[in-house]
Structure 1
Amino acid sequence: MNLTKRRWVILLACCLINLCLGSIYSWSVFASSMADFLSNTTGVKLTTGDLAIVYTIANSVGPITMITGGWFNDKFGPKNVILVGGLMFGGGMVISGFATSVNFLIVSYGLISGLGLGMAYGSTISSCIKFFPDKRGLIGGITTAVYGFSSVILPPIITLIVNASDATVAFKAVGGVFLVVVCVSALTIIPCPQGFVPEGWTPPATNAGLGGVNKDWKEMLKSPIFYIMLLLLTCGAFSGMMIISQTSAVAKNLVGMSALAASTAVSVLALFNVAGRISAGYISDKIGRINTLAVACVLSVIGLILLYLTSEGNIMYFYAGISVVGISFGSFMGVFPGFTADQFGPRNNSVNFGIMFIGFALAGYFGPTVMRNVYATDGAYQRAFLISCALCVAGLMLTFVYRFVKKKQVN
Structure 2
Amino acid sequence: MEQQTRNLNRWLMLIASTSILLCTGAIYAFSVFAGPLSAAKNWSMSEVMTAFAINSAVGPIPMILGGFLTDRGLAKWSSVLGGLLFGLGFFLTGYVTSPLMLYVTYGLLSGFGQGLAYSGCLSNTIKLFPDKKGLASGIITAGMGGAAIISAPIGNHLIERFDVLYAFQILGCTYIAVVIVASFFIKVAPANYQPQGWTQAHSQQNAPVVNKNWQQMLQTPYFYLIFFMLGTGAFSGLMIASNASSIGQNMFGLSSVAAAFYVSLYSLSNCAGRVVWGTVSDKLGRNRTLDIIFSVIILAFMAFLFIPTQAGFAIGIIALGLCFGGVMGVFPPMVMENYGPIHQGVNYGIIFVGYSSAAFFAPKLTADILVNNNGSYTYAFYIAIAVAFVGLALNMIYKFTKQRQSNN
Range into which the TM-score falls when normalised by the shorter chain: over 0.9
1:291 aligns with 2:293: no
- With 297-306 and 52-61 compared, the bigger mean Cα shift is at 52-61
CA RMSD of aligned residues (A): 1.7
Please tell me whether residue 19 in structure 1 is matched to residue 31 in structure 2. Answer: no
From 266, 283, 299, give the equivalent of 1:302: 299
Change (3 A) 1:206 1:19: closer
Q: Which one is further off, 199-208 or 272-281?
A: 199-208
List gaps (5 residues or longer) in structure 1: 40-45
Matched, 1:330 2:311: no
Residues 349 and 209 from structure 1, CA distance in 2 versus in 1: closer, same or farther, beyond 3 angstroms? farther
Matches of 1:230 and 1:9 in 2, distance apart? 31
Q: Give 5+ residue unaligned stretches, structure 2.
A: none
Q: Which residue of 1 aligns with 2:338?
A: 343
Moved more, 82-91 or 337-346: 82-91
**Counterpart in the other structure of 1:3:** 5
Displacement after TM superposition at 1:212 (Å): 4.5
Residue in 1 aligned with 2:178? 181
1:385 aligns with 2:352: no
Q: CA deviation at 1:47?
A: 3.4
1:397 aligns with 2:393: yes
Counterpart of 2:365 in structure 1 is: 370
Q: 1:254, 1:310 within 8 Å by CA — same for their partners in 2?
A: no
Moved more, 295-304 or 184-193: 184-193
* Structure 2 residue 226 is matched with structure 1 residue 259: no
Give distance in 2, aligned partners of 1:207 and 1:327.
Answer: 23
Map 1:184-195; keep pairs closer than 5 Å.
184-195=181-192
TM-score (norm 1): 0.95
Taking the aligned partners of 1:92 and 1:30, their CA distance within structure 2 comes to 14
Give the whole-Å Cα distance in 1 for the aligned partners of 2:206 and 2:54. 34
Q: Which residue of the other structure, out of 393, 404, 407, is the alignment partner of 1:408? A: 404
The yes-or-no answer on 1:222 pairing with 2:219 is yes
Q: Distance in 1 between matches of 2:216 and 2:205?
A: 14
2:356 maps to 361
Taking a change above 3 Å as real, the CA distance of residues 315 and 261 of structure 1, as seen in their structure-2 partners, is: same
Is 1:37 aligned with 2:54?
A: no
Contact 2:204 2:283 in 1 (8 A): no
Contact 1:142–1:278 (Cα < 8 Å) also in 2: yes
Whichever residue aligns with residue 381 of structure 1, its letter is Y
- The whole-number CA distance in structure 2 between the counterparts of 1:342 and 1:205 is 15
Q: In the alignment, is residue 89 of structure 1 matched against residue 86 of structure 2?
A: yes
Inter-partner Cα distance in structure 1 for 2:179 and 2:405? 42
Distance 2:86 2:206 in 1: 31
User: What is the TM-score normalised by the length of structure 2?
Assistant: 0.95
Q: Would you say how many aligned residue pairs link Structure 1 and Structure 2?
A: 403
Deviations 1:307-344 (A, max 9, x none): 12253xx1000110111111111110111111111111
Q: How does 1:59-138 map to 2 (within 5 A)?
A: 59-138=56-135
**Which residue is 1:54 aligned to?**
51
Q: Give the distance between the partners of 1:310 and 1:51, measured in 2 at CA.
A: 36
Q: Secondary structure at the match of 1:192?
A: coil
Work out the percentage of aligned pairs sharing the same amino acid.
37
Q: Is the partner of 2:189 in helix, strand or coil?
A: coil
- Is the Cα–Cα contact under 8 Å of residues 200 and 206 in structure 2 kept in the other structure? no
Please tell me the residue identity of whatever aligns with 1:16: S
